[in-house]
Every structure is written in structure tokens, then in C-alpha cells.
Structure 1
Amino acid sequence: MIIKHLPPIFEPARPVLQKIEDAGFEAYFVGGCVRDTILGDSIHDIDIATSAYPSEIKAIFNRTVDTGIEHGTVMILDHGTGYETTTFRTESGYQDFRRPDKVTFVRSLSEDLKRRDFTINALALKENGEVIDLFNGLDDLKHHLIKAVGDPNERFHEDALRMMRAVRFASKLDFVIATETLAGIKQNAALLEKIAVERIRVEFEKLLMGQNPVAGLNEFLRTGLYQYCPGLAGKQTELSGLLLLNNWQLRNAEQVWAVIVTQLGFDSREASKFLRSWKTSNELITNVKKMIPVIQGLKSKKLSPLTFFTAGRNAVQDANQVAKLYGWAIPDEQLMKQYNSLPIKSGKELAVNGGVLINDTGVKPGPLLGKIIKKLTVQVVNGELPNDRETLINEAEKIKKEG
């Protein structure tokens, strides 16, 4: 197969491959960038593999950086752009089911490609557009199949995360996992416990943001992978409800996790504990917790101004995107019209602050001051008081007298 017109991202890198070839070595674009080029999908970065050893790459190019020299990766700096180039290699001895104990540099493209996860990712592309397919990856692309290179059990023992990658690709590409590969995932699902939760989380988030999340989720549940993820063991019934949802258009990690905690029926406290077990950031936890009351308000059709105010614009928009999955959403324009009608959208917009109240009412810094500001804010948001300095000072004095 010859690709006559390569995407623009390849053009600046072609002279790099040509220079390696002129020095007597082989060089190819490899992996996902080749797959996505053939599928016509967008490409964000490119990977280069070569028969040249790291020392030979450094001899060919004047400017290089050792970014992963122990694994054969050298970054070539060319006209202000860095290209990571990795020597063909074989790997062996995966005692931790995620990293090779030994890496051996080789000259053979075939030996390098046979260690890759799936046939659709084991394609190589010459700088002239010729595709090298040694493991029937083009046929599997044609038939929308995710198939392990060689023995699935060996591939999953080399890196157990590949099982999550398989179900993620089922969603991302809307492909079907080949029978033998699927059987390999079922047989080795427990190995997922050997993998850092951060790595699993990345794949799970990508799965739910793919073009067909139901396909990936179905295999995630069918293979039993969910049992080895934080907080999901024994939750098959709850998670199976996700397979019935339509209109999947999740756009960020906050929306992903809001769907999961909603589906599992978690309140704010339970959601925090669950998300911490996945080692999500504190910022994400905070954002998801802001979304929960909005989602519940959309479900019950009881959205108060205070719910809008407490959540903030981003959380309101994200919550509505989640609610679309369940049929609870309201039109985006109507939602933002309600949000924009708030008298104030943050505490900073309140006509008085702590300093003003201390000076004008004599209230001292402390818990009472905080309670006064909170009460004034609620009254303004709910339309019970105008956001007027004099009015708010008078109200603050009343609250102070009441203690």
C-alpha cells in the first residue's frame, strides 16, 4: 500500500528519515500515527523507529538529546522541532507485567514490530508513503478488528495495561476485539491489579470519551476488567446501566467521572472517596462535586439560583452535558440564560466585602463576619436583596444585632 498524500505533520520529519537512510540505515514512522493516517483520523504526534543504534543516530545528527537512551530513544533536534527516534528492539522478562527486564537493540524491523500490542499498531510507514505490513494489520483495519500481535497471553503478560488499551480502542475506533484477543483479556484480567491506577485511569477516561463508549464498556464488563479497578468490583449491575445510554459526547475527564459517580448513585462524600481511590487530582474532585447538585437538579427539574451560583459556569455546562446522556438536560441556550440571569456569579461581585463590613458595621473578624457575608450572598443570589452597598450594610447590621 502506498499513501500518496501524507498529512502535513509528516512533511517536516521526512528529511530526518531521509538523512538516516542516506547513512545506510532503515527508518520508519510507526504505531498510531500510521494507523490514524490510514483511517483518516487526526494525528497529534509521530513516532519514528530505526535500525540505527543510539550512538549512530548521534553521529548522524549534530543536535540530539538522550530522552530515553536505555530504551534506545534519542530526540533529534531539527529546525527547532524535536523528533523522538527509537532503535528497533526486542524486550524480555516482564516480571512486573508492565516493564521489560531486558531491552536488546536489533537491526530487524520485524523483530521490533512483533513486540507491539495490536496488529493495527504494528504498521510501519516509509517516508515515501509506502506502508509496511508484516502482521496483517491493514486487513484488520479494513475489517475493524482489534487483534493482538501473535499470542494474546504473551502480549498481556508483557504489559497488562494492553487489556485496557484494547477496550479503549474498541470505543475510540468503534472496532470489535478479535475472539482470541478477547479470550486472552478474560483469562488475564486479574493482571490489571499489577498496573498503576494512574495508567488505568488514563485509558478508562479515553474509553468514555471515544466515539462508541458503549462498545468499549461492554467489553470492559464482559471481560471482567472492571473487577480489578478501584471501587468497581461487584458493581456490574450498576455499570451495565451505562450500556443503555445514548448521546455519548463526553468532552473532558470531569464529565467522565461525573457520569460514573451518578451511575453508581454516590453522594458528594462517597464521590470524593471513590475519586481519591482512582488518584484523581484534588481539582477534578472539587469540580465533580460541584456538578453533582446540578445534575440532580436537572433530574428533578428543580434548579435553584443558589445551585447555579455554587457550581459556577463550567460545572453547570459540564453537568448539562452529563445530563444529556440520561435525558435530563435542558437546551444549552436556556441553561446559560438561567445562569447569566444570576444577580452575581461569584462572591467577588458582592457589593460589600469583609473590609467594608468591618469598617462600616464594626463587626470583628471571625466566624460571625463569615456568616454575615455568606447570608448576604445567599440573599442576593436568591433575589431577596439587591446587590446594593447601602442595603447590604443595613442588613449586615441587623444580622449582627441578632448575633
Structure 2
Amino acid sequence: MSEIDWRPSLPEAVVALIVIAVGFVEAVVLYAITNGRVDGFAQTLVVAFAVAASRRAPAVGLALVWVLGLLHVRFGVPIMLVEFTLTAVFFGSARWGRSATVVMSALSVPLAVVVAFVLHQGRTIFLHLLVGGSRVDDVIRQRPTLELALSLVAMLLVAAPWPAGLVMRSLDRAKVSRASMLAAEEAATVARRETDHIREIVELRDQQTRLARDVHDVVGHSLAVILAQAESGQYLDDTERLKRTLRTIATSARSSLQDVRQVLSSTQDPATVPGFDGLIAGVRDSGHEIVATEVGTPRRLTGENAAVAYRVFQEMLTNAIKHGRRDRPIVTERHWTTTPADALMIEVTNGTEGSGCDGPLGHGRGLDGMRRRLDEIGGHLDVQAAETTFTVTAIVPARDGTR
């Protein structure tokens, strides 16, 4: 069983003990003056409890103040000097109380002043003020000026702690608001940093994905061409044709190595991307029959679109070489359109005996890579498999920002 920590309540307890000690001394004096009146002891205990509750339970302390006020008004209990410590209740109600407590304390302060004034100056003045008696001036003139001034000062002392508490309450709220604002700004700064960090990670992974796709396309295409040339070279008896095939293999390997270096160093400029004719010539040199047609008015692709179109066409030819039948030609068509959009449609068809491409229809690594490339520039990829043919169609926007 854990011990109760009384330290947070220690200041209130000390103040309450001081109030009890001073109040009991005053009560003893009052007892002696009034010949046996013991009200002062009960008043002292009520005041002590009210002062002790002024910080942690200001509503309770305010309720005890009202109890004292009723005792004074109803039973004529005299005001004790120790009751001036009740100003701590007014201060606590304004600073730490809830909204209802603040409102009630605002009403209690003037009421307490009126009660104190009436009980101190005598009921006669109060009654004449209510009825408008003609002897009011005479009664006031009978009171010494100094006594009246002291009474006014005492009333100000009773009323002053409440606005002071209200000011402290406003300062506390302003401090809390400032701290909350600073915390919100700090949280926003942290969130921005985390967002920037996440964005950097996403960009890095995107670059890695692009690099992997580029290397896949370059190496896959070159190896497919080299493999086809090497296989056809086994059956060549003519020395000159064999040398030409070997030169083609060397050229393809050299070109592939250069492309890989450009990809790894990120120095490839879309403006320097090789043309489609080079890819067609490489496939033709590998021994595959290829039929290439171009429809419409050719236009220069701009920016990233040129590189995407080249890589997509390269991957189409690679898949056609790897998975197509060698006894049937690869058919390519480039169709330049102006309606409904200015775009280039690339279509590659090859003969096949199965599903045709690297994996199930539409789910191969090469097809996924082509789709991602085209999606990034607002293009589209379509795959159609028939019983003996496999057709891949790509729509490449002719200009950047088509999406």
C-alpha cells in the first residue's frame, strides 16, 4: 500500500494552523469581553477551513464564506479580525475556480463588503439608507471621519484580492496559451522534418526503382540480342558471316555496357536517347525477322517522354525475342495520333505458343515496369494474348504534362 504524499497540501495546512492559532487568541479575548460568548471559536474553524480550501477547492471555500455571512446577518455574530483572511478565498476563487465559481465570487465580494460595512457601522445607517430617513445625515455626522475612512480602507482591502486573482488567472491562461502555441509550433516543425525525411526516403526509393528498371531494360534487351546472335552463330559455316555476327555481338555488348554506365551515373539526357531505328536494327542483326512500320507524321518527343518511349519499346522487343517464335516475324508499328490526344502509339506483336510474356498475362516484371513508366507520364499499356500471337500496345503522350 503506497504512502499518501501530503507535501502538495502542506502550504494550505500551515496557513490553516496559523489562522486557527490567531483566531483562537482573538476568540479568547472576545469570550472575555462578551462574558462567555463562544461564537468566535466556531467562526475561527470555519475561516480556517475556508482559507485551506481556497486553492484546491475554491468553491467549497466560497460556500463557507456564505455560511459566515448568513451567521452574521441572521444571528448578529460580530465580525472577527481573523475573517480578513477570507480575502484569500476571493483571490483563489478568481484565479483557480471554475467559471461558475468566478461568477459567484464576483457577487460575493460586494455582498461581503456590504455585510462588513453594515455590521461595523451599525444597523441604523443601513436601515435609514433603505427607507430614506431624514436623520441619515445626522447619524453620519455623529461618526468620526477617521473611523469612516478606516472602514473604507478595510472594504477596499476586502475587495482588492478578487481582481488581483482575476488578473493572475488571465496571466496564467496567457502563459498556457503561449506554451501551447510554442508546443504546436514545435510539433509542426517536427512534423515538417519527418515529412521531409519521408519524402527523401520516397524519392530515394523511387530513384532506386527507376535505376532497377533501367538496368533491367538495358541488360535484358542486350542479353536477349546477344543470346539470339550467339545461337544463330553456331550454325554459320560462312567465315565472313560468322565474323559479322561476332562483331554484332561485340557492338551490342559495348552499347549495353555504355548504357549501363550512363544509367548508374545518372547522366543520361532524354535528348540523347537513341532512336527507335537503332533498336530495330539490333533485333534484325540478331537474326530475327522484324517488320517495322510507321504511320502518321513523326514528331519529336520531349523530356522524359522520349526516354520512356525508348525504354518501353526496348522492353517490348526484348520480350518478343525471349518469348516469341523465331520462325515468325516480330511486327512493330508506330502510329502518331493527334486525336483524341497528341500521342505516339507503339504496338509490338510476336508469335507465341503460350501466354507469351515473362509470367502470367499482364503480370510479368517487364510488363509491370512498362506500366509504371507510362503511368508516371500519363501514358497507358495494353496487353492482348491470342492463341498464336501476343500483342503489347503502349500509348506515350507526345509532350510533357499531358496528364
Tell me whether the two structures share a fold, i.e. TM-score over 0.5: no
Structure (1 or 2) with the larger CA radius of gyration: 2
TM-score (norm 2): 0.22
Tell me which protein shows more helix as a share of its residues. 2
